Amino acid sequence: MDKFTTLEGVAAPMRTINVDTDRIIPAKYLKTIKRTGLGKSLFAEMRYREDGSENPDFILNQPAYRQSKILVVGDNFGCGSSREHAPWALADFGIRCVISTSFADIFFNNCAKNGILAIRVAPEDLEKLFEDAERGANATLTVDLETQTIRGPDGGTLHFDIEPGRKHNLLNGLDEIGTTLERGSTIDAYEQKLAAREWA
């Protein structure tokens, strides 16, 4: 998993609330167990018309936001089913950070497991970030995980909270397996101690 340290990029605004995982990646695209190739189907029902052509009104189809790395989204993002394909699709498209007031718990945890930083902010801070993101090509935000700050295009800075273990794992690019391996020496010592006790 790629480390998340500092991310600078264009932020795309999506004010829609209650965007569920089926809207992030529709069920018909869930046949794969690969984490790659899903970016083209991200938000498929909103990005494309019935004939397969792009919907020019959808935010990620607009020239200023095609290379967005950050999403600023409405409340309760990622609700619905627990599909891990949702963060896979976001990551494959190039999204590394999603900012909202609230996320569904499973989606929130799946993001961290896949190298995406999901940030919860207060409603007034989210509104400021929406205003920044609506600047089009000038909608550049800088997210610094080490200092837990988001810097806007005018230099204004917001602070965000994150659980220390989640922060550690993202900074070091550790998924659950990586976290376990990081503690390998402690686990080995415990196993040796346990084995010695059993043979005593």
Number of CB atoms found within 10 A of residue 94's CB:
15
DSSP annotation of 59 reads G
d(CA 97, CA 113): 13
pLDDT at 120: 98
Question: Which residues of the chain have a pLDDT value below 50?
Answer: none
pLDDT at 82: 85
Structure tokens at 128: 């400021």
Backbone angles phi, psi at 178, to 5 degrees: -60, -40
pLDDT at 139: 87
pLDDT at 58: 97
